[in-house]
Structure 1
Amino acid sequence: MVFLTTKMMQRTALFVTFGGLVTSLITTFLPFWKTMNSDLNEVENWFSGLWHTCLYTEEVGIQCKAYDSVLGLPMDLQISRVLMSVSIGTGGLAVLASFPGLEGVEMCSGQPGMKRRLLILGGVLSWVSGLTTLAPVSIVAYTTVVEFWDEGFPDVMPRWEYGEAMFSGWFGGLALLIGGTLLFVAVCMGDYDQRPPSVSSSPRAKHSKQHYLKTEVL
């Protein structure tokens, strides 16, 4: 394909990685990881995130409050906070490391080996960022399912369900993994483009070449 060049693949990989980073960043601070509403009081909707819990009513709107104590949080939320922070940090480093390695960027110009190593580093960091995004979202999703189907709770008691932020977290994590994979693909494409042309040195090839030259002269 004409448009599937190494330069285009590098920019596509960086764009996907940056999009996954932005999505993970937004997911980290959204208070819509879990949602809960009661059949007894349908005008109230509760939302829970990593940093805030919110209450929505038709009269007042949405009101959010930060958690009072970090140590008082459930273990899944504490782990999710740490992992999402690691995800944002590694995702930002992935973008910063990959940008100088792009073709056409003046930084590290004339150093193809350095550009190649930067792209590989960006791919590894993007993978780490994607995994540390998918892990906390999956942990919270698992605990939500376990608590939802816990038979120890009365049936009339409202239970937490999946919120919109969890789906955006899965999307951001997958985007980071795909972006890291595309960076490795771009590195392989660059290695293929820079390979030396194959020159056949077999005696039969030399004889054929000489015979062709003699025929051409004749």
Structure 2
Amino acid sequence: MASMVSQLLGFFLGILGFVGTAVATLLPQWRGTTFMSSNIITATSYMKGLWMECVWHSTGIYQCELYRSLLALPPDLQAARALMVLSCVTSVLASLVSVMGMKCTRFVHSPLMKSLLALSGGICFLCAGLLCLVTVSWTTNDVMMDFYDPFLPLGLKYEIGLAVYLGYASACLNLTGGMVLCWSSSGDRSRCPSHMDRNQSPPPAFNNIYPPTPLYKSSDAQKDNHAPSICAPSSSGYRLNNYV
């Protein structure tokens, strides 16, 4: 019962991490900055994401533009796109494998196979969390390096956006869910062999299949054990002394 609860907990943590990773991938708030004009009421916010750039005005105007060319993007942005998409795909694969290996489902009947599938799902969740964590850490390092660069103009300096913080939270959820699934499946695998040995009957002994070979008896022993014949002196039939 405790193993089933831990599997459900790890699975739902992984699902929450997958949802957060997908939302962080689509949001444009990876890098943002705010410019204030001479009028305090008027402000403009610029945001850059993995797929688009957005501008928000305090007057209520919100404009977004998708990146037109993939090859014209910088290499770090292309790598971030690939890693986040790969993290989402790995999370989907982990969810499918974990569902088949959980105790509350009936896709697989073998306990050993169920534990192996749950372990595989946990490892996939761990990989998805690591991919997301590497991406947001890389973005954070780039933003901080540009922000503290004295030779970079002020208008090109950005701050860390909301999507990066969401990516950190999603990576932590994926890693936690994967570790819980791996821990629960390892406990099931350690108990599986003893359970099988207790239910199965031991194999028949070798001596019961093949009977032992008979012992060799000498000719002297067999000579004393044969039944007396009719013509023998000690036979219970006709005796020789009856006719003499």
Please indicate the TM-score interval, normalised by the length of the shorter structure.
Answer: 0.7 to 0.9
TM-score normalised by the chain length of structure 1? 0.83
Which is further off, 188-197 or 169-178? Answer: 188-197
TM-score normalised by the chain length of structure 2? 0.74
Matches within 5 A, 1:51-200: 51-109=51-109, 111-155=110-154, 157=155, 159-194=157-192, 196=194
Query: 1:73 offset after TM fit, Å?
Result: 1.5
Query: 1:190 offset after TM fit, Å?
Result: 1.8
Please name the residue that 2:234 is paired with.
none
Which is further off, 172-181 or 56-65? Answer: 56-65
Please name the residue that 1:204 is paired with.
none
For residues 16 and 100 of structure 1, what CA distance do their matches in structure 2 show?
A: 17
Secondary structure of residue in 1 paired with 2:150: coil
Q: Which runs of 5+ in 1 are unaligned?
A: 200-218
The structure that has the greater radius of gyration is 2
Please name the residue that 1:30 is paired with.
27
Query: 1:194 offset after TM fit, Å?
Result: 3.9
Percent identical among aligned pairs is: 28
Q: Is 1:7 the counterpart of 2:4 in the alignment? A: yes
Task: Report the number of matched residues.
Answer: 194
Q: Which runs of 5+ in 2 are unaligned?
A: 199-244
**Amino acid of the structure 1 residue aligned with 2:33:** M
> Is this contact kept in 2: 1:35–1:47, CA < 8 A?
yes
**Amino acid of the structure 1 residue aligned with 2:142:** T
> Is this contact kept in 2: 1:38–1:158, CA < 8 A?
no
Secondary structure of residue in 2 paired with 1:38: strand
Choose between structure 1 and 2 for higher RCO, CA contacts under 8 A separated by at least 6 residues. 1
For residues 154 and 185 of structure 1, what CA distance do their matches in structure 2 show?
A: 50
